[in-house]
Amino acid sequence: MAKTLYDYWFVQFDFPDANGKPYKSSGGKMVFNAELKRKIPEGWEVDSFSAWIKNDKSGDWGKEKKQGNYVNKVSYIRGADLNGLNGKGEVKSPTRFILEKNNHKLLEIGDFIIEISGGSPTQSTGRMAFITKETLERFENPLICSNFCKAVTLKEEKALYNFAYEWNRLYDEGVLFGWEGKTSGIKNLLFESFVTNHQVSKPDGQVIELFYNKAKPIHAQIQTNLKQNQKLSELRDWLLPMLMNGQVTVGEVEQELGMVAEDITKYGK
């Protein structure tokens, strides 16, 4: 639903005008932009992604076990976990330990995780997920990205969903294939070059804020549902073997599931 709204507002340019009517369809003024080679709404800016970015954090890998100064327990987000964060598969993030001095690399609400190494002949690098409060609640440990990823923080909190949907739109269209290099057979996203040189339109601030307010509760619900699914899967994996070997009965399983359903209902509220 949020993606459809993004396409309608920021690709077709039919965001609500001052009268609440679709901008372009209602005769809103469009101005040709030579850099983008297309018309965009009057008053919109054109700049690189780097103009949206406040700072970035490099990845880490730490140690498998606590040793020496490697004492802070974290869950690692790898490129393979990004789809799971977005609800398109499982998250199997490993638990490791990092140096206390690297706590500045921990992921925070509003951060983006971008895969900078990996991909395949049919899949470019540049897969992305972003962190919300509900995302962090899915994990027992603080999160950090692996050294095959990069974390990005934006200057404006409310630009989060515009950045995310525009990045994903370009990824889905295969644009990032043109911004890759190879090192020892591994594809690398030329991140700095891409965010500095690829030009994108930046909407009016009021429209950005309006979209943020529409998209935020949708994504909060997505992450809440994913957490609930994760808890149900854990319960299934715990109960099913006992059911099969006769340790519990169907009636006891139904009772357990009823209690979990009640907890989930309370959590959802």
18 domain residue, yes or no: no
pLDDT digits (tens, 9 = 90+) for 216-237: 999 999 888 888 887 787 778 8
Residue 259: is its pLDDT beyond 70? no
187 domain residue, yes or no: yes
Residue 3: is its pLDDT beyond 90? yes
Confidence bin at 243 (pLDDT 50/70/90): confident
33 domain residue, yes or no: no
* Cross-strand bridge partners of residue 154: 53
Other CB atoms within 10 A of residue 42 CB: 11
| CATH (domain of 192) | 3.90.220.20
pLDDT at 74: 97
How confident is the model over 245-252, as a mean pLDDT? Answer: 73
pLDDT digits (tens, 9 = 90+) for 48-61: 999 999 999 999 99
Residue 34 has which token pair? Answer: 């030579």
223 domain residue, yes or no: no
Total domain count, the chain: 1
176 domain residue, yes or no: yes
Nearest to residue 203, comparing CAs of 43, 24, 36?
Answer: 43
Buried b (16+ CB within 10 A) or exposed e, 72-95: bebbbbbbbbbebbbeeeebebee
5 domain residue, yes or no: no
pLDDT at 231: 79
186 domain residue, yes or no: yes
Task: Look at strands 117-118 and 112-115 and give their pairing.
Answer: unpaired
pLDDT at 226: 86
DSSP 171: H
80 domain residue, yes or no: yes
- Among 28-32, 168-172, 218-222, which is the least confidently predicted range? 218-222
128-130: strand order across its sheet: 53-58, 149-154, 112-115, 128-130
- The pTM of this model reads 0.84
Distance CA 19, CA 202 (A): 21
Confidence bin at 253 (pLDDT 50/70/90): low
Residue 76 DSSP SS3: strand
- Among 28-42, 140-154, 161-175, 255-269, which is the least confidently predicted range? 255-269
Residue 32: is its pLDDT beyond 60? yes
pLDDT digits (tens, 9 = 90+) for 98-110: 999 999 999 999 9
Confidence bin at 269 (pLDDT 50/70/90): very low
- Domain span including residue 90: 51-203
- Among 82-86, 177-181, 182-186, which is the least confidently predicted range? 182-186
Distance CA 242, CA 260 (A): 17
pLDDT digits (tens, 9 = 90+) for 135-166: 999 999 999 999 999 999 999 999 999 999 99
pLDDT at 265: 55
Quote the mean pLDDT of the chain. Answer: 90
